[in-house]
Amino acid sequence: MVLWLLLPLLLLWIQGTQESKLDPNGQHVCKTNSSSAELQCCPGWRQKDQECTIPICEGTDACQEDEVCVKPGLCRCKPGFFGFQCKSRCPGQYWGPDCRESCACYPHGQCEPDTGVCHCQADRWGSRCEFACACSSHGRCDPQTGACRCEPGWWSTTCRRRCQCNQGAVRCDQATGSCLCEAGWWGHRCSFRCPCHGSPCAQDSGRCTCLPGWWGPECRDRCECVRGRCSATSGQCACPPGFSGVRCELLCPAGHYGAQCRHSCGHCKRNEPCSADTGSCESCEPGWNGTQCHQPCPPGTFGESCRQQCPRCWLGEACQPDTGHCQSCDPGWLGPRGPVMP
C-alpha cells in the first residue's frame, strides 16, 4: 500500500531529472555556492528549455487579473493596455506592457499592441512603413515590397495607364497592357466574337478549337463516332484499340486485335480469341509463351508455358516446342523423346 502512495512522487522525481539541462551561458542562469557549482535559475526566475526566462511574481508580488509579470516581483498591464486598472488601450504610437514601447512605424502605420509588428497605411510600405507608395489612386501597393496591384481596367508599374480593351476582355495584363479576352471573344482588344458555335477560339487569330464531339472550321458539324474521337478538321473517327469501322461501331473479329484490328492474335490455347484491345491470351498453346503468346519456347524447353526440359535429342538439337519430340536421338537412346535405353 505504501508503494502505491509513493509511486506518484517517484514519477514526479523522474520527470524533474529528465528536464533540459541549463545552459551555463543562458539568461539568468546562476551557479550554486556549493563545491559542485551546480547550475540553477537565478532568484526570481523559472526555467524554460535551457534558460531561465520566466519571471516570478508570487505572494505579495502576485499580479492582478489584467497584469503580466515582466521582471521578478514587477507587474505591468498586459500588452496593449495601460492605466490604473489596465483598461485603457495604447495610443497608436505605443505598444507592449503598460504601453512603454514606442511604435517604430508611427505616424505612417500602427503597431500590434502585443508584438509591435507594423501595419502600414494604404499609401506606405516597408518594415517600418518608411517608404511612400508610387501607385496612383487606381492601385494599392504591397506593404512588404511596394509593388502596385492595379484595379481592373488599369495597368503599368504605377497603375497610371488605362487598359485599351473592349467589352469582351476580362482584364488587361498589368505588366504589358495586353488584353485578356473572355471565353468567346478574340482580337487585340477583344473586339470580335468567336464564330465557333460554343467552342473556344485563339485570341490572336480567332481560329476555332472544337470541343469534343464537334468538327469543322467553325465547329458546327457533330461527330458521328460511336466510340473514340473524330478529327476536328475532317470529322474522321479515330477508333480506340479493339474497334474498327467508319464510326468505330465494329468490335474486332475473332483472331484480330488493336488499332483498326490490324494485328493478329497469337497462339492462344484452343484457338480462343485474344483480348480485342491488347491481344493478351488467358493461356497459350503448348510451345508458346508471353502475354500475347507470340514467343516460341526457348531452345531446350517445350510444353505449356515452356516449363518442361527437352530430352536427349541428337547432338543436343532442340526438341519440338509443343510435344518435346526429337527428330533423332543421341546414340544409346530410343523413343519419341529419346529417354528409353535400347
Query: Over the stretch 292-309, which tens digit does the pLDDT of each residue have?
Result: 999 999 988 999 989 999
Per the domain annotation, does 177 fall within a domain? no
- In degrees, to the nearest 5, what angle opens at C-alpha 99 toward C-alphas 98 and 105? 165
The pLDDT, as a whole number, for residue 330 is 73
Per the domain annotation, does 309 fall within a domain? no
* Full-model pTM: 0.47
* Total number of domains constituting the chain: 1
The neighbour count for residue 259, using CB atoms within 10 Å, is 15
C-alpha span between 259 and 243 (Å, rounded): 7
- What percent of the chain has pLDDT above 70? 91
C-alpha span between 75 and 56 (Å, rounded): 10
Q: Which domain holds residue 57?
A: 53-132
Rg (CA), the chain: 43
The pLDDT, as a whole number, for residue 79 is 83
SS3 6: helix
Per the domain annotation, does 254 fall within a domain? no
User: Average pLDDT, stretch 255-272?
Assistant: 92
Examine residue 299 and say whether the peptide bond preceding it is cis (omega within 30 degrees of 0). no
Q: Provide the total of helices (H) and of strands (E) in the chain, helices listed first.
A: 1, 34
Per the domain annotation, does 106 fall within a domain? yes
Q: DSSP of 271-286, one letter per residue?
A: GPPPPTTT---SSB-T
Please return the burial class of 175, using the count of CB atoms within 10 Å of its CB with bins 0-12, 13-18 and 19+: exposed
C-alpha span between 99 and 91 (Å, rounded): 8
Per the domain annotation, does 178 fall within a domain? no
Per the domain annotation, does 294 fall within a domain? no
- What percent of the chain has pLDDT above 90? 48
Please return the burial class of 106, using the count of CB atoms within 10 Å of its CB with bins 0-12, 13-18 and 19+: middle
The pLDDT, as a whole number, for residue 336 is 56
Per the domain annotation, does 120 fall within a domain? yes
The pLDDT, as a whole number, for residue 296 is 93
The pLDDT, as a whole number, for residue 327 is 83
Residue 64 has pLDDT above 90, yes or no: no
Per the domain annotation, does 227 fall within a domain? no
Contact 102, 94 (CB under 8 A): yes
Residue 19 has pLDDT above 60, yes or no: no
